[in-house]
Amino acid sequence: MPDQRQATAAKRPAWSRGRTPGAENPSSTTPPIRRRPVWKAVLLVALILGACVMFFPFLWSLSTSVSSGVGMSATPELIPDNPSFAAYAELFRKTPFARIIANSLGLAVATTVLQIITSSMAAYVFSRMPFPGRSIVFALYLATMMIPMQVLLVPLFVQMRNLGLVDSYLGVLLPSVASAFGVFLLRQAMNSLPRELDEAARIDGAGHLTIFSRIILPLVGPSIATLTVFSFMNSWNSFLWPLIILRSNELKTLPLALAGLQGQYTTRWDVMMAGSIVSILPMLAIYLFAQKYVIQGVANTGIK
């Protein structure tokens, strides 16, 4: 896998230079439909209909969340007669939902900050500080991306138990302090920076610490933005590991709390949808601001 990623990235320099599929590039359109306005209109209508279908589940959960007390067999209505926020109120009254949002947010921010720090430092070495055996060490970093979380479940849990970190934030956080994906992403970005920059700084007497923090880091901003969005998203949405580590209700993260709502409110779909909407919103906000970086990240490496 890592080889494949590297190969694709190397094969398409356009990506590593940070061009996104979203970036306007009139010359790169598949040509067939250009001269047929009728087909173009048909295509547009089809795409818009498809987008409506894609968006419908979101709309539907929003609609359900504001129609209080949706029963089992009522005729579904997209626009409820008496919209109310009762379900949201109930959610926050009956479960520690504010605390749960804070948990998710804290863990996501901590994970993101730590991953950016650890990844950028390692990426700098892999890009700018040659040493014997460096390519082997880098290959080993990439190889860890292949190891699935599932294989680690039992021993990782035992390790956390021995460290006394079961049912603690630290237990959730520690395994994701480093990200091989982040190292790979930032190294690619740093490799694309001209080496004359460091050369010039070195002549002015700058050491590696200065070059790293003052020159290289600011210049890989877009890739750090991509990593930020990915780290945040992965942490915000992660389920399996927090499910194993976190036990107490007040420590739980959003996905855990949402899965828990199912048991608590088997048929109260309005409450469950309210919970879903609340947990989508922050991710949605980030996505709207950073759509470019998210899509670029996927296009670059294809890692979710």
Binding segment toward other proteins, per CB under 8 A, in 93-101, 105-113, 213-221, 239-247: 239-247
Smaller CB separation from other proteins, 82 or 151: 151
Binding segment toward other proteins, per CB under 8 A, in 86-94, 105-113, 218-226, 252-260: 252-260
Closest C-alpha among 119, 156, 157 to residue 141: 119
Binding segment toward other proteins, per CB under 8 A, in 87-95, 105-113, 219-227, 253-261: 253-261
Q: Does 247 bind other proteins (CB under 8 A)?
A: no
CA angle centred on 116, ends 100 and 251, rounded to 5°:
15
Q: Does 15 bind other proteins (CB under 8 A)?
A: yes
Q: Does 264 bind other proteins (CB under 8 A)?
A: no
| Sole binder of other proteins in the list 96, 106, 175, 222 (CB under 8 A) | 175
Q: Does 76 bind other proteins (CB under 8 A)?
A: yes
Neighbours of 71 (CB within 10 A): 9
CA angle centred on 5, ends 228 and 288, rounded to 5°:
30
Residues in 194-213 that interact with other proteins by CB under 8 A: 195, 198-199, 202, 208-209, 212
Q: Does 246 bind other proteins (CB under 8 A)?
A: no
For residue 111, how far is the Cα from the chain centroid?
A: 11
Q: Does 119 bind other proteins (CB under 8 A)?
A: yes
Q: What's the min distance (Å) between Cβ of 245 and other proteins?
A: 11
Binding segment toward other proteins, per CB under 8 A, in 79-87, 88-96, 216-224, 290-298: 290-298
Closest C-alpha among 98, 99, 105, 93 to residue 271: 93
Closest C-alpha among 4, 14, 299 to residue 143: 4
Contact 227, 115 (CB under 8 A): yes
Binding segment toward other proteins, per CB under 8 A, in 82-90, 91-99, 219-227, 254-262: 254-262
The residue behind tokens 């990506």 is 15
Contact flags string 21-60 toward other proteins, x per CB under 8 A: xx-xxxxxxxxxxx-----x--xx-xxx-xx--xx-xx-x
Q: What's the min distance (Å) between Cβ of 303 and other proteins?
A: 8
Q: Does 99 bind other proteins (CB under 8 A)?
A: no
Binding segment toward other proteins, per CB under 8 A, in 93-101, 105-113, 216-224, 273-281: 273-281
Q: Which amino acid is at 93?
A: R
For residue 108, how far is the Cα from the chain centroid?
A: 10
Helices (H), the chain: 2-11, 13-16, 37-66, 86-94, 97-128, 134-144, 149-162, 169-173, 180-191, 196-203, 208-210, 217-219, 221-237, 240-245, 254-264, 269-301
Q: How far is CA 211 from CA 26, 162, 184, 207, 217, in A?
A: 37, 40, 20, 6, 8
97-128 and 269-301 are packed helices; what angle lies between their axes, rounded to 10 degrees? Answer: 10
Smaller CB separation from other proteins, 42 or 98: 42
| Sole binder of other proteins in the list 80, 84, 105, 157 (CB under 8 A) | 157
Smaller CB separation from other proteins, 71 or 218: 71
